[in-house]
Chains A and B, each alone.
Chain A
Amino acid sequence: GPLWERPLMEVRLGELHTWISTCNFSPQGLLAAVQRAWSSYCAKYIHVKQGGPAGISMLLAGYCLLSYGWNYQHLKRHRWRKYH
């Protein structure tokens, strides 16, 4: 289909900036984008008849990574080496 209707995964690398320019960056647009992403994730991994640990484990892993990133400045002080 046309460029502005394709989801992010199906946009080629060269068309990326064009695609971003067609995005709706108003609060409602961002909220709608977040809603869409969450709905597609749920529909793919959680609302199935035989889901496994994958649905929640990916969420938990993402949470771990995010929290590591948020606390990085504090964790940096527990390094073992002085020079890298």
Chain B
Amino acid sequence: MLSRLVLRAAPAALRALPPPVAVGVLHTTRPLHTTRQSLAPVPPLPEKGGEVRHGLIPEEFFQFLYPKTGVTGPYMLGTGLLLYLLSKEIYVVNHETAAAACILTVIVYAIKKFGPEVAAFADKLNEEKVATAVAMKDEAIQTLQTAIEEEKKEQWRAEGRSYLFDAKRNNVAMLLETNYRERLLMVYSEVKKRLDYQVAMQTLKRQKEQDHMIQWVEKNVVQSITPQQQKESIAKCIVDLKALSKGAHAAV
């Protein structure tokens, strides 16, 4: 029904369009890219078609005759028409009539018997098609939903960046501190080394001077001991020893 309305409105819309416009060398019957008609989403198909009675005569005919002739009007019209055609032999009964009667009987019987099953099968096919399309749509929506949640989570995570930066700042400060202290230590050790060197130099020099002086004094003293003094000292030693031995003998 909706598509019928659309199609009824189409001629009116077509007549309301502006006359052909020459855009450059291209003759167009409508302004390009400014139409208000949108082709998507396509309106869905109507559920049921127009009502038809006995498979042949649309319901509108019966409704058309109802106010004047009631319910039996169209049937009386049909019967009268049929009798007129037969009696005046405008419709001639021949072999084709018998054939048509048999064929119609078979067709009507087949439709009445197998109609619902075929309809159910076709409906099932349609259902499957629609189900795949809907499944795709749902899957796409689900993917986008998860993407949205992931994004929100990432945004929440990004809020914690202040903590991250604090930690990094602390790390950097600690590194600087460590480096500074290492360098202090190095300075201290270097200075101490230099000072130790100086101290060692001084002690070495003093020691060398002392040793040298002692040697020199000893050498001079030894040189100064003349032979005369040596004899006198030896004699004195012998006298002292004798005295000592006397004393020891006396003690014993």
Query: A: which residues have CB within 8 A of B?
Result: 1, 5, 7, 9, 32, 36, 39-40, 43-55, 57-58, 61, 68, 75-76, 78-81, 84
| B89: contacting residue among A48, A52, A81, CB under 8 A | A81
Question: Given A75-B94, A78-B92, A50 and B11 touching (CB < 8 A)?
Answer: no
For the A-B complex, the count of residue pairs with Cβ-Cβ distances under 8 Å equals 80
Does more than half of chain A's interface fall in helix, strand or loop, or is it mixed?
A: helix
Count B interface residues, CB 8 Å. Answer: 32
- Which residues of B lie under 8 Å from residue A55 when comparing CB positions? 49
B93 interfacial by beta-carbon distance below 8 Å: yes
The yes or no answer to B55 lying at the interface (CB within 8 A) is yes
Instruction: Give the complex CA separation of A68 and B50 in angstroms.
Output: 27
B126 contacts across to A, CB distance below 8 A: 49
The CA-CA distance from A20 to B87 in the complex, in Å, is: 36
- Residue in contact with B45 in the complex, picked from A1, A40, A49, A79, CB distance below 8 Å: A49
- B249 contacts the other chain (CB 8 A): no
Residue in contact with B4 in the complex, picked from A44, A52, A53, A79, CB distance below 8 Å = A44
Chain A CB within 8 A of B154 CB: no
| B47 beta carbon closer than 8 Å to chain A | yes
Is there an interface contact between B7 and A52, defined as CB atoms closer than 8 Å? Answer: no
A44 lies within 8 A of B12 (CB): no
B113-172 with Cβ < 8 A to chain A: 115, 119, 123, 126
Using a CB-CB cutoff of 8 Å, which residues 1-44 of chain B contact chain A? 1, 3-4, 7-8, 10-12, 15
* Chain B, residue nearest A81 (CB): B89
